[in-house]
Amino acid sequence: MKVVFLIAGKGRRLKEITKDNHKSLIKLDDNSLIHHLIENFVYAGLTNFVAIVGHCSDKVLSEFNKQYSQNIDIEYVENSRYEETNNLYSLYCAKDILEGEEFLLCNADVVLDREIIKDIASMKDQSVIAIDDFKYSAPVDSPGILMDNYKVSDLGRHIPFEDNMGYAIGVYKFSKELSKEFFNEAKKMLNQNINAGFHDPLPKLFDKFEVLKYRTKDKLWTDIDAYEDIDKARKIHNNIKNKYERNSVIYPDLMTKVVAITGAGAGIGEAIARAFLAQGSKVILISRSDITWINEYHPSQYIFLKKDIQETDFFSKWLEKFSSEGYKVDILINNAGIIQHNKLMNITVTEWDSIININSKAPFFLTQIFAKHMIKNQCGNIIFASSFATKLSSFSYGIYAASKAMIVSLTKSFATELAPYNIRVNSFSPGVIKTQMTKVARENYEKDMLNDIALNRFGSAEEVAKAILFLATEESSYIHGIDLDISGGKFISQNSNLAYKDTM
């Protein structure tokens, strides 16, 4: 099967870059966008390429020949009228090569997870359009689609946003039958409009030919149409690269998991969320405040629910809808919590209700909601954030310690009740971790606090996240009902600081 790259256009929205270069040659890292596209197709076993060139054709051809002349077969077709035409005309320039042949068409300005290409290439003798049906909050500058059951029934930018069922991402597979009729229709259209897009003839053929959709789901992609897209494309490329590199993906089984994390906006919650994203997991970020750092990731990698965890009715309805759409949550991490600094004799009813409701009550009922969902799936993993305070409380933090002690007890009880459904339940107790929550105490009592920690340093949120990854993965499949101490050896002896003086 041939792979067709559309690389003729000038990229007018990037005119400062493309005045003397082609946007497919934009560097994502040490290599260009087109370099990585070719790598992905070769990975899928496709090595027969047709490059339709125009603007900066010499540079584009040089990029192909430099890296791949020994590994791929390539035919070049030139659109000498690229300045005055659109990509349908470019594709029509390759009519003699492609008409009646099965081929896979790809815009040369997209960054793609290689599994998208591999999946589509495996759909033999079928016509396919790759779509992203993520529920965007505003229109996207890509052709929208309409579906009739499993078949594509319409395609184009004319589809109203509210009716749209997804966006084409720039990867199209043509069966032999469709490609023959496509070029007949393209000729008619070009006689009327030389600036038609390559997708414009397709809607006229949907009644005659079955064109299937391929959902990208959680697989990453983006395109480059504007200056702000370049930085985004580099981040997406880096995330895709990390997904497949061993030094990033520590636990491959997490790549297919959906993980819900409360308190994901900052501190330990942010570190846990980033850790799962690095493993390729789909992450449901739950926070009552906005999360600014999620802009570093593609929307297909996460779902953001801006909600207080006490709004359990919302989560119950949301999870029911999520489940009805064919999705499931594999892992729940009850991380959200607050700290209360006041002596027990001065605690008010309001303060009591606040900390117990957030630290104990809300995690209990959230777990109840998600556990019912996991029971239906006969598998799951629930992780609670407890605290070292449950082992030894600090002065004037008694109510906080009590709220977290309930979590340790609930962990064991839930672990007992959910074990028959293959649902593991554990908790973790961080010691003094360098987050905003502990900043004041660390600044005022650093020396005394470090004297109690055998490792003689404060922990990082990233170190906690690594431990949580382990509890979430199948590598810890026989760990159940425990509270994992992540404190650097806090209070493992009465005077652990003397060990440092003894070594001097």
Secondary structure class of 470 (helix, strand, coil) = helix
Closest CA to 128 of 50, 187, 216, 259: 216
Q: How far is CA 151 from the centre of its chain?
A: 27
Q: How many CB atoms lie within 10 A of CB 23?
A: 24
Question: Active site residue: 400, 421, 445, 500, which one?
Answer: 400
421 is a catalytic site residue: no
d(CA 218, CA 255): 10
d(CA 491, CA 51): 66
Show the 3-state SS of 327-370.
CCCCEEEECCCCCCCCCHHHCCHHHHHHHHHHHHHHHHHHHHHH
Q: How many CB atoms lie within 10 A of CB 289?
A: 10
Written as six digits, the tokens of 380 are: 């799951």
Task: Say which residue the tokens 């991402």 belong to.
Answer: 169
Region of residue 38 (left: phi > 0; alpha: psi -120 to 50; beta: else): alpha
Task: Say which residue the tokens 């600036």 belong to.
Answer: 195
The arrangement of strands across the sheet holding 423-430 comes to 302-306, 282-287, 258-262, 331-334, 380-385, 423-430, 483-486
Phi, psi of 406 (to 5 degrees): -60, -35
Q: Do residues 426 and 386 make contact, with C-beta atoms less than 8 angstroms apart? A: no
Written as six digits, the tokens of 502 are: 């003894």
Task: Say which residue the tokens 């055998």 belong to.
Answer: 454
d(CA 86, CA 200): 11
Q: Which residues are catalytic?
A: 400
